[in-house]
Every structure is written in C-alpha cells, then in structure tokens.
C-alpha cells in the first residue's frame, strides 16, 4: 500500500471506491424507507357472533360414544350422556346405536366421533363401536383415554 505523490504523469490503476460507497449509502437509505411501507400479511375479517337469539335445537358438535362396563353382561352405550336402548326390554343393542349414529350424522358436514370406554371393558367392544361408526359414515373416529396424573 504505497501512495503516489502527484508527479510523473503516470496513470493509476487503483479503483476509486468513493462513488461506489455513495451508491451503496443511497441504496441503503432507499431500502430502509421502502421496507416499513410494504404490507405484512393479509387483511382478514374476524367472524362475528350472530346478533339474534340462537335456536336451542342445534345438535352438539362433539359426539362421544361411551362404552360402559357391566360385570357379566354386555356393556351399555351412551351418546353424549344419553343412554342407547333397544326397544325390547330396555336392553342395549348395537343396532340401535348404529341407527342413532346414522341419524345424527345424516346431515352433518363434519363427521367426527370419539369413543370412550371404561377401564374394565374388553377392547373388542370398543372395536365394535368403531365398526358401527364406520357403518354410520363417520369419517374420523378418535379414542379418548383418561388423563394420567403425575406421580401415579
């Protein structure tokens, strides 16, 4: 890195970086001004709740089928805490369960069902309820399990 003192009239092959730094600073200022002006995301409207009174006969969105253990007998079934009975003698039946589920899911766009079984219920009863749900055109079937508390 030597410096030439102005004598001799020879040409210098060093690059003059001053105009390049000037251009760089101008571009930096332009980008600093433009970036905050650009939109960040889409304009979305949040859905508002209806203003009028809502009808009470809207069915629940979440359907939970419970399989309840009965010692020495076939288990009983509940759909959202409502017992499912066969018309003969009040005995629970898979046919009545399938008929009720078919009726529930006939006009639904969202076909999701959860199955919850007691601790003592054999899994083949749970599998039967899953098959009944599939026969009733349920798209997604989930299994509900009890929460396990820490330290148990």
Whole-number pLDDT of residue 1: 52
pLDDT tens track for 112-144? 899 998 888 888 889 999 999 999 888 899 988
Question: Is 14 a domain residue?
Answer: no
Give domain status of residue 124, yes or no.
yes
Q: Domain of 82: which CATH number?
A: 3.30.420.270
**b/e 21-50 (16+ beta carbons within 10 angstroms → b):** eeeeeeeeeeeeeeeeeeeeeeeeeeeeee
Q: Could you give the percent of the chain with pLDDT greater than 90?
A: 14
Distance, in Å, from the CA atom of 35 to the CA atom of 38, rounded to the nearest integer, reads 6
pLDDT at 24: 94
Per-residue model confidence (pLDDT) at position 85: 76
pLDDT of amino acid 50: 73
Exposure on the CB side of residue 67, measured as CA atoms within 13 A: 26
> How many degrees, rounded to 5, is the angle at CA 84 between CA 81 and CA 86?
165
pLDDT higher than 80, residue 60: no
149 in a domain, yes or no?
A: no
User: Is 131 contained in some domain?
Assistant: yes
Q: How many domains does the chain have?
A: 1
Establish if 134 belongs to a structural domain.
yes
Q: Is residue 39 part of a domain?
A: no
Is the pTM higher than 0.75? no
Question: What is the residue range of 116's domain?
Answer: 63-144
Question: Is residue 38, in this structure, part of any structural domain at all?
Answer: no
In a domain, 29, yes or no: no
Mean pLDDT is lowest, of 36-40, 88-92, 129-133, for 88-92
C-alpha to C-alpha distance for 98 and 82, rounded to whole angstroms: 14
Tell me which residue has tokens 């076939």. Answer: 74
pLDDT at 91: 47
């Amino acid at each position: 890195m030597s410096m030439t003192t102005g004598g001799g009239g020879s040409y210098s092959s060093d690059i003059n970086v001053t105009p390049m730094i000037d251009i760089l600073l101008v571009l930096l200022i332009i980008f600093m001004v433009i970036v905050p002006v650009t939109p960040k995301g889409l304009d979305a409207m949040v859905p508002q709740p209806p203003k009028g009174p809502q009808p009470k006969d809207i069915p629940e969105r979440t359907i939970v089928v419970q399989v309840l253990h009965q010692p020495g007998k076939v288990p009983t079934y509940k759909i959202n805490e409502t017992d499912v009975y066969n018309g003969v003698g009040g005995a629970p039946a898979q046919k009545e369960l399938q008929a009720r589920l078919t009726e529930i899911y006939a006009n639904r766009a969202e076909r999701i069902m959860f199955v919850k079984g007691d601790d003592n219920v054999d899994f083949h009863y749970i599998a039967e309820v899953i098959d009944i749900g599939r026969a009733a055109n349920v798209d997604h079937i989930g299994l509900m399990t009890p929460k396990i508390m820490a330290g148990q």
